[in-house]
Amino acid sequence: MRITRFQTNFTSGELDPLLFGRTDLQQYQNGLSRALNIVIQPQGGFRRRDGLEFLHDFTGFTAFKLIPFEFSTTDSYLLVMVAGRIYVFKAGVLQTNINGSGNDYITATGITAAMLDEINYTQAVDTLIFCHEDLRTKRLIRNTDTDWTFENLPFTNIPKYAYEFDIHQPDFTVTPSAVEGNITLTASATTTDTGTAQAGSSSTITLKAASSFTVNNAPNGMFIVLTSGTGAGQTRHVEDYVGSTKVLTVYPNWTTAPDSTTGYKVVPYAEAAVGEYIQVRNGFGRARYVKYISDTSMKAVVEVPFFDTSGIVSGNWDSEHGYEASWSTTRGWPRSATFHQSRLYFGGSKQRINTIWGSRVGDYYNFDPGTGLDDEAVEATINTSQYNAIANILSQSDLRIFTTGGEFIVPNANGNPITPATLTVQPQTRLGIKAGVPVEDLNGASVFVQRSGRSINLFQFTDSIASYASQPLSVLSSHLIKNPVDLAIRKGTSTDETDTLYLVSGDDGNMTVYSILSSQNVIAASEFTTGLNGQFIAVAVEIDTVFVIVKRVVNGATKYYLERFNSDLLLDSSIYSTSPGGATTVDVDHLPSSAIKVLVDGSVQSDTTVPSFSPYTVVLGAQADESYEVGLDFSIEATTMPNEPNLSSGTTQGLQKRIVRVDAVVNQTQSLTVNGYNIPFLEFGSSVLDTIIEPYTGRKTLHAIPGYTAEGQITISQNYPLKLNVLGVEYRLSLGD
């Protein structure tokens, strides 16, 4: 039996071998069993992927972070971050003499190689903010192409947290000015003390011999302020007091220990009380101190109303303290950041892994919660039954929070902006994210790698359930998801392009690439490898240009190159020119001494070598009048699925199959091989080498392919690095026992 089939599109891309039995699926009929170094097009065909242009040798470094930085419509950059340095590329050109230093990099103090995988960043106009739990939060400001400022983020108020929570019952009465709202708390019936200390140590101070405090623990919970002499300017909580010896113990320890020259005062209140709490023991009254007025009065905001405005005597209220900056060298720093609704949000920190913070509106570095007004700072902690370490946050229609345990949102209540009163964190899905891999926007959906590193998901609002859902993007090609370590998305810029998702595989250094056009149900996976067994290390998209770091072994030495995909190129790690001026040689010092491919004026030349000594001059083989390209070849393969025609007589699984004839519909193509047989694009007898092959559009036919197989598959490849664009494949299939 003979039948004719026509695969009109390949928009399912490379399919998981686990789907080889699902001949009932439409995706099976539109899929490929192998899609190597090809790009699926929105119209349905596939083409040879773009070549890679060599830009810079980063040998000497082994860890990288690629960061796009778009300052304006005319000024955009790729930042290459390595340990202690940031290199700036504009239009692929390295910027030099940065800040007039003579260096071709920005000095990035504090950045280590170990940090690079998990550094998060966010940008607003000319400022890029870097986050890592072990890095004092930094910002990079662009002044000009070669003038950049890298510095600590200038926080004006860091939120506080009771890492060392402590409770005391200070020996004085507190009187609220009102039962709720913004109030004043006044201390009375209190004993204070001033004078010059007798002695001190790292955690104690001995008060004057005639101290007002004679009873043990009398000043506990109050404040001691060093007013003069050694250690002046320090304020500490009183933790313990021994009346007989006059020795007072403080928390935390002194930065500079006092001595017999130190003047002091022991008072109910001090500036350090801001952010601490008063809690009435009967439950009627809780307030947070927000402003120091005097040694006996504080401004406060009420969180639980007081019963009345009567004085609350000692023993009926507690002072809750032990509060310190949420972020510090000791406690760690924020892990992720984003700008959302005119606030700067941080997500998670080293010791507060499940908390988010939002700055004051329009005052991006000020995290003072104030009295809880709408424009003041916000804070919330995710508390669920599982471990939720925040790995990334993203500003989209809502504030989206991605943790190792699940996905959350902070909704806009009734369409209104987030305020301290309306801030709520709502759980959505429970997949969890792989830390260290970016989350990217794809037309309103958030693309993230699942915690296991074996699935890619789209997180988006779904009308059918009026909630967010996580949908697997990689379900038909899960075999290509191999522990991704980096991710980037290039948005389509014309009707001839899809959106493209690039995933760097941590297991083998290949790249899984998805062509995505949601409106046409195109989700097509392919796999990219690179010449000379290279490995992709990192990827980033600067507007519409895709940059990669590639690890290559050249003449026995390990090299790390910055390269970019270029639609004008057909080779990898290429050096090329479109105005060669009749050149017959070119200097190349980054390629190996063998297996070098050369294209001159569009024609393939004989393979050449690079000398092992300077000046590393490659002979082109012909005079280049219009263009030349020197680089590494890479393999192309597009293999159809095992053939299973839908016949009325039933399945053909047990039948042997032979491809009798293939008609490939091609567009602007110069080289094509079907099942190992080269299809000629020149007159019979003409050699491909040294000959310009005009791109061909139409049908190319291969007859009489010998041999039966159980699968009856067609494999399209290339013997030469030339243009390839296949629109469809018609073939005659012979079936028999």
pLDDT digits (tens, 9 = 90+) for 248-305: 999 989 999 999 999 999 999 999 999 999 999 988 999 999 999 999 999 999 999 9
Task: Give the pLDDT score at 684.
Answer: 54
Among candidates 91, 87, 98, 93, which has minimal Cα distance to 146? 98
Give percent helix, percent strand, percent coil of the chain, each to the nearest 5.
5, 50, 45
Mean pLDDT lowest among 3-17, 325-339, 667-681, 682-696:
682-696
DSSP 8-state secondary structure symbol assigned to residue 29: H
CB 389 within 8 A of CB 404: yes
Distance CA 634, CA 572 (A): 7
Binned at pLDDT 50, 70 and 90, residue 737 comes out as: low
Cis status of the peptide bond prior to 615, with omega within 30 of 0: yes
Using the structure block, give the residue that is written with the tokens 């606030």. 343
DSSP strand pairing (499-505 vs 2-7) = unpaired
End-to-end C-alpha distance for the chain, whole angstroms: 10
Residue 31, token pair as written in the block: 């899929």
CB 14 within 8 A of CB 477: yes
- Statement: residue 653 has pLDDT above 80: no
CB under 8 Å to 723, separation ≥6 — which residues?
47, 48, 570, 668, 669, 670, 671, 695
Task: Give the pLDDT score at 681.
Answer: 86
Task: Give the pLDDT score at 308.
Answer: 95
CB 424 within 8 A of CB 403: no
What is the sign of the dihedral through the CA atoms of 52, 57, 59 and 60? negative
| pLDDT tens digits, 697-718 | 999 999 878 888 888 899 999 9
Distance CA 572, CA 564 (A): 9
CB 599 within 8 A of CB 605: yes
Average pLDDT over the chain reads: 94
| pLDDT tens digits, 146-190 | 999 999 999 999 999 999 899 999 999 999 999 999 999 999 999
DSSP 8-state secondary structure symbol assigned to residue 257: -
Query: Within 10 Å of residue 76's Cβ, how many Cβ atoms?
Result: 17
3-state secondary structure of 379: strand
Among candidates 469, 391, 380, 476, which has minimal Cα distance to 422? 380
- C-alpha distances (whole Å) from 644 to each of 8, 417, 446, 640, 732 are 16, 56, 37, 11, 13
CA 604 to chain centre: 40
Binned at pLDDT 50, 70 and 90, residue 683 comes out as: low
Considering the chain, what percentage of its residues have pLDDT values greater than 90? 83
Among candidates 425, 421, 395, which has minimal Cα distance to 409? 425
The DSSP annotation for 601-647 comes to TTEEPPPB---SSTT-EEEEEEEESS-EEEEE----EEEEPPP---B
The size of the chain, in residues, is 737
Among candidates 326, 325, 353, 356, which has minimal Cα distance to 340? 356
Binned at pLDDT 50, 70 and 90, residue 648 comes out as: low
Residue 702, token pair as written in the block: 């291969």
Geometric angle at alpha carbon 469, from 352 and 43, rounded to 5°: 125
Mean pLDDT lowest among 68-82, 98-112, 681-695:
681-695
Binned at pLDDT 50, 70 and 90, residue 2 comes out as: confident
Among candidates 453, 637, 486, 634, which has minimal Cα distance to 552? 634
